Amino acid sequence: MFGDLFEEDPSFISNNQCGKGKKSKYRGAEPPAPREFTNLSGIKNQGGTCYLNSLLQTLLFTPEFREALFSLGPEELGTLDDISKPDAKVRIIPLQLQRLFAQLLLLDQQAASTTDLTESFGWNSNEEMRQHDVQELNRILFSALETSLVGTSGHDLINRLYHGIVVNQIVCKECKNVSERQEDFLDLTVAVKGVTGLEEALWNMYVEEEYFENDNLYRCGACDKLVEASKSAKLRKLPPFLTVSLLRFNFDFEKCERYKETSCYTFPVQINLRPFCEQTELDDSEYMYELFSVIIHKGGCYGGHYHVYIRDVDELGNWQLQEESKQMPVNQLGQKLLEKNGMSWNKKYRKQYGALRKYLQNHPQIFQFNPNENKVGLKEKYHKLPLKSDSQGENLQSPHQKNDVQWNLGKTSTTLRDSSAGGRWFDLNDSKVQPIKEKEIEKQFQGKESAYMLFYRKSQLKRPPEARGNPRYQIPEHLLNEMNAANTELQKKRAECDSANNGIDLHLHLSSYYKFHNGALHPSLTWKESVVDLTIDRRKTLGDLRQSIFQMLESWEGDMILSIAKPLPAGLHLYHSLDGDELTLDAIGLADGADIFVWNGKEVGGTKLLTGLDHEPVIVNVLCLAKYNEGGKGQHFTESQHIIPCSTELDTLRRALAPSGGIILKNSSGLGKDAKNWEVLPEEDMKQTVKSVGLTDGCSILILDSHDQSLVNVANGNLTAFAYDISWLQVKNFCRTDAEEEQVKITATVETVMSDIKMKAIQELQLEEELANDSCLRPISGNGKLLSPVPEDYTVKEAELKMGSLLGLCRGKSPTSTQLFLYFIVGSDQQTSPEMEIVVEETASVRECLNLMLEKSGLSGGNWHLRRFDWCYEAGEALSQETATLKELNVCRGDTLVVTEGRLPPKGFLKIPIWWYSPLNHTEHRENARDQVNGVTCKMEALQVSPVGEYIQTDMDLCYAGSIEIAGEASLEDLKIQAMTLPCCQEQIVPLPAFLRAWTVESKRLGKLLRNNKQQLNEYKLGSRVEICIEPLQKEENLGPHELLLRVQMGIPGQRDYYCSTDLVWDISKECTTWALRQRVASHYCLPVDKIEIAKYFPEKFEWLPISSWTQQISKRKRKKKQESLQSAPYHLKDGDIIGVKNLLLDDTKDFSTVRDDVGKEKQRQLALEKKKSRQAERLQNYILSEEKVNVKHRKPEVALSINVGVFR
């Protein structure tokens, strides 16, 4: 019904923290988390089932419904074990609902699953991911239960609890006859829009009367005539439980979109329904109802999330609220820990315990955490617990005691009770259950998060004392046994999981398997053979660990020292030894996966070990500048790795690596970084150690001999950076045509001048020195094309060359920095015209550049101009300012220009192509009726090809007459006079310019009609590429601004064709309406107005749109606004439009289409089909070739909600 109106918004889905935290080592399925402090169970969200969860919790906390369902035993419902038996009659939905309610009441888990229940509904995974309307679900679920319980003692369960009756009455004012009609209801639907609250909405529905009077009378059955009457509705029967659905979602017919009513809508906690009932003489208790459930929708009309506020009638949950003054923001807690410990949570605890917010969420039994307000407090029972310390002896479970963080916990947490019995409210949000105060309900009166369904119960419904706080009340024995067994299994799994998660894996390294060299320990055998794995509980002591190692080893002599070890890139290194056999492994900070070295504490293999952080070995990359062709392709360093104790002095290191002397540069960022990261180690630092100057694993040092030190700038003996990046450029020889092309690699930096690179390349290639003055370097593109030469005074950076680029050494001088190297072709066809090259000064004018190009290509004459190459490699913008310099016109080095035939018009002049336009005679038109589907005969090749799928229909012949140059300040009359001088037009007899009609040509079709012969061309805003059509007339014409020129054509009776069109001038100064046009056309053909039908032709669609009945299709309101002008939608009537006319005296058919239209539509259909096939093929190809998939969220299609129920009649 509502489709994706209530699509689940993932941002609103509550997070189930069950089982979250650090990674579990338990091999089986992780057992669900136990119930939180409220002792109430939530329901897991299957993806989009928050609406189902909210309704199920409401039904669970309706004790009368729950107990009535539990009263149905296996003898009536069957058992779930008999589902597979063919003859068994098993009522699956009530059984699964019983089982789910029992789990929610008794099973010790944070959240129950509805998978079995939704499977009994017949829902698949798609249905579980799709959200529906909870009001719709309420009706469908009740219907499914009624069908499932047919033939049992619970057949009337729904009617007994929720059924009510509304009576509608109409009272005749004359005979007082009362006409009644009863309506049954399970829930009342009330309006939200335009009312302030529930009581006002009920007053409008059941107190206010509607009167039939004046023109709106009622036919009385008793009087048998139209009379005045009053209509009203009353509640005849009230159910024990009243369900109220609020119409929050509406449709805006003006905007054509859905929206949610977020205005304030109040509803009371207690309500007296006496004013709305038919019978009012009963006791007040019969009309009093109390609110016990509010289903809330959060979000908009196209997505959101449901949760529910419920009053715990039977007091099954623990309801405790931490006062706000006893809580603090999480950010403030983190700041307090930083102030007291000197170290933030992330640095000290995150690796072991995770993020602070996650830690608080995963310990609900200790912390009162409110994620919505981002506040945290401590549970009362943990105020005075003994401390539990971490590896540093600091408390994590109760940080306020150890670190003096002020939690303001001088008082115990307050348990608040509402005044009414069983007045404790909870917010059940999928898996999460939180206590709330009754005043929180008022926040759901309005806004995007607001009440959507209300559930009331009669105040006189009292609960037995034995049901208070007793979740086992009225639950069948077989379900009690099932839940007891399930709880026992859960406790067993949690114990196993706890044991597994508290176990840590230690890697023991025995000293007998190791030897010491290069400043680190290395195994005598392989790493795998030298390590012994041991699993032990972290809650055991260090003495227990030592005893376990003794038992595992066959023999051990002397003292056993256990030291923390760490595998480093250089080898295994030892840190501190473990002391305190009475401490637990968790207390001394022994983490899972720790490495323990077992030795005597003095030496390994006769070598005394230096332990601790100050003696760590580091691996350093040592680099030296490579000689020519030394190293791999593109490599400019030789690299080797050395293991160096971090206590080694730099002077000792330099003597070992550079015996002949030199300087050392370090790069803490590693190899291959920017040169600015290298820094010189000055002479005074040579007495410092490797550690003190910041050399760690992976750092690089560069050793430069004396002849390489020119690459380093040393000022005043202080640290400076590498001057430039050192890399290579490749140069290929193109100077020798008779020899094989050679290629060399030249060392360069980004600041190397191109002339130096050329000289090095000439030397490496062993070419003649004379080439230095007659050669240049040209970059080579990826497809092998030689690009424009690089000026020799440019650096590599200025030339925008990348290191490793390939250059070509070619003959010819390179341009200077003030010269431009340009490509040019003659004509616009690249295939037939070869590309040529030229070097010109950037200060040269366009005319000078053109003359040089004409001279080089062997052309002469002044009938040429230059154009740029546009982005699709065609002749584009003309360089019209011939006196401007190339630099002023932003012509750049490497650009391609086109030498085009023809002179450009002078400044302020327009060069306009002229077309001659004349009507076809009737005979020719009829002969070509079938072939001229496109309708325009274009004698010029330029107009013979139209866009694919575009058809043009008109009864005119178009021929090219030539082009004219005319000033923009000239008038339209001047243009017509000049057009009459063209050779093609001189054959026509035209007395005056007024006998000519001028049109613009747009998309190979007549466009705008140019009026007023005295108007300047500039005022028409024609543009530089305009084309004009001239049409000769039989008489003088001077159309005014309010005169519309139409082509009208009369249909041939009995045929699907028309006579030749004639021109019709229509004055629209007074009105441009359907009636006025019909009168003008009828007058033109001397026919009665009511004996013609007219229609406008749309040639691009081959469709006719009748005009006669258009006034009936628009509302009176729009007609009042004078919006029926034919120049607006849907006709958009303009000059040159074709109007078809049918003479109803001779032809009563109202079909305006012709055979040409049928053929044209068929061709359009075929072209559209071909386009569709090509697009599908292209999409398929793109899908196959694409490497990344973009996830786009689409709205799901509308699908009706349903529950499948078997037949039990």
Residue 692: alpha-carbon gap to chain centroid: 49
* 596 touches 646 (CB < 8 A): no
SS3 869: strand
Count of CB atoms situated within 10 Å of the CB of 230: 15
| Separation of alpha carbons 620 and 625, rounded Å | 16
Any idea which residue has 């009754």 for tokens?
Answer: 438
Query: Tokens representing 769?
Result: 């020195």
Q: Is 305 a catalytic site residue?
A: yes
Q: Six-digit token pair at 1155?
A: 């055979």
DSSP β-bridge partners for residue 577: 563
- Of 523, 500, 546, 454, the residue nearest 201 (C-alpha): 454
Rounded Cα distance between 672 and 432, Å, is 52
**Other Cβ atoms closer than 10 A to 1022:** 18
DSSP code, position 447? S
Q: Which residue is associated with the tokens 């609220």?
A: 321
- In whole angstroms, give the CA distance from residue 313 to residue 471: 12
Task: Please give the torsion angle defined by the CA atoms of residues 140, 146, 147 and 150, in that order, rounded to the nearest 10 degrees.
Answer: 180
Buried b (16+ CB within 10 A) or exposed e, 1047-1083: bbbbbeeeebebebbebbebebeeebbbeebbebbbe
How many Å apart are CA 375 and CA 331, to the nearest integer?
Answer: 9
CA distances from 847 to 392, 821, 867 (A): 85, 17, 12
199: part of which helix (H) or strand (E)? helix 198-206
Cα four-point dihedral sign 855, 859, 861, 867 = negative
As beta bridge partners, residue 169 has: 180, 232
- Those residues whose C-beta lies under 8 Å from the C-beta of residue 635, and which sit 6 or more positions away, are 626
Question: In 1007-1115, which residue ranges form alpha helices assigned H by DSSP?
Answer: 1074-1085
Q: Report cis status (omega within 30 of 0) of the bond before 834.
A: no
- CB–CB of 738/764 below 8 Å? no
The maximal CA–CA distance of the chain, rounded, in angstroms, is 131
Minimal CA–CA distance to 98: which of 66, 120, 128?
Answer: 66
Enumerate the β-bridge partners of residue 257: 252
In total, the chain counts a number of residues equal to 1209
Contact 52, 133 (CB under 8 A): no
**Which residue has tokens 């360089």?**
879
Please give the backbone phi and psi of residue 985, each rounded to the nearest 5 degrees, phi first. Answer: -85, -20
Out of 132, 297, 305, 1084, which one is annotated catalytic?
305
Active site residue 50: yes
Closest to 677 in 3D by CA, of 651, 698, 662, 659: 698
Measured over the CA atoms of residue 1032, residue 1036, residue 1042 and residue 1047, the dihedral's sign is negative
Q: Give the distance, in angstroms, between the CA of residue 248 and the centroid of all CA atoms in the same chain.
A: 28
The residue annotated as part of the active site, out of 18, 50, 646, 735, is 50
In angstroms, the CA 904 to CA 319 distance is 90
Say how far apart CA 110 and CA 1055 lie, in whole Å.
81
Which residues are tagged catalytic? Answer: 50, 305
